[in-house]
Amino acid sequence: MLAIDLTGKHALVAGVADDGGFGFAIAKAMAEAGAKVSVATWPPALGIFKTLLERGKFDASLALRDGSKLSFAKIYPVDAEFDTLDDAPAELRESRRYRDLGDFTISGLAAAVQADGGVDIVVHSLANGSEVKKPLMETSRKGYLSAVSASAYSMVSMVRHFSPVMRRGGAFLSLSYMASERAVPGYGGGMSSAKAALESDTRVLAYEAGRAYNHRVNVISAGPYASRAASAIGFIDQMIDYTTRNSPLTDRLTAEEVGATAAFLCSPLASGITGSTVYVDKGYQAMGVAVNGGLAAT
């Protein structure tokens, strides 16, 4: 049987703060395939994430198919808006949620992972747009640049800082959304621009990291899913309903489907795939016209 096998690999999934999103599903799929899994979490969410883990609130979600339980090798802090500690404002470094974490930047994370034995797979499950609810024409320059910095440039920085400490032939993966290619009213604040940049950068990074380190770089464009972060935007249910009715496959997308694709793309089975945007959206991206005008059939 041809199986996804990540035995002996160490996977780092950056952007896991609960058990309800794609990042957690990817981490779980990596573990199911045999990888050792670590995660990196935004400092303001780190304390509650660790507390919920310790209190067993995620136990049901951590259950693996063989009856064992997913256990993270390490939980690191990371604030992907900063490449080095010098980039972070002093008031932030000295704040209650940051001051005892050491180097919480991308370069600090790479150094910590290297000190702990290195890594083979790095997953970028990070996005933030402070003005995501604002139409693009009402988005400030600061909000726009912040969205691109946190959601797209952070991937560039991660590939730069992790490539030298990753074992040769490693795999990078990030997560995008169809707003990179099409107008999605309500998904504002520069986030659509950030996703477009992320996909474009994937192609360039694949060339550069491939030639320099033999690493692969891919991105998954996932369909709408009601994670906690997506639900905060405010119209995710309508998007799920619309795409479900107008996709070739009409069942709802699951986080597990994205996780399985991620595990495949980071495995030796996908050794010939790099620089690609892989759609996991029930085929919605293939549609050019809404079915029944986008309305439910009667």
Residue 291's pLDDT band, with cuts at 50, 70 and 90, is confident
Asked whether residue 25 carries a pLDDT value surpassing 90, the answer given is yes
Q: pLDDT band at 294, cuts 50/70/90?
A: low
Tell me if residue 214 falls in helix, strand or coil.
Answer: coil
Which of left, alpha, beta for 167 (phi over 0: left; psi -120 to 50: alpha)?
beta
Give the pairing type, strands 216-222 and 277-280: parallel
> In the chain, what are the domain boundaries?
10-282
Please give the CATH architecture assigned to the domain spanning 10-282.
3-Layer(aba) Sandwich (3.40)
> Which of 76, 98, 177, 225 is flagged as catalytic?
177
**76, 98, 187, 225: which one is catalytic?**
187
Contacts 24+ apart (CB under 8 A), 61-67: 61/19, 61/24, 61/28, 62/19, 62/28, 64/28, 64/31, 64/32, 65/32
- Number of DSSP helices (H) and strands (E) in the chain, helices first: 11, 7
Q: How many residues does the chain have?
A: 298
Does 295 score more than 60 pLDDT?
Answer: no
**C-alpha to C-alpha distance for 32 and 26, rounded to whole angstroms:** 10
pLDDT at 186 > cutoff 90 = no
For position 207, what pLDDT does the model report?
Answer: 98
CA angle 245, 131, 198 (to 5 degrees): 70
**What tokens appear for 94 in the block?**
């000295």
63 by DSSP, 3-state: which?
strand
Query: What digits encode the pLDDT tens for the residues 204-216?
Result: 999 999 999 999 9
Confirm whether 177 is a catalytic residue: yes
Better pLDDT: 296 or 201? 201
Instruction: Determine whether 76 is an active site residue.
Output: no
Q: Is the pLDDT of residue 225 over 80?
A: yes
**Lowest model confidence (mean pLDDT) among 10-14, 186-190, 254-258, 294-298:** 294-298
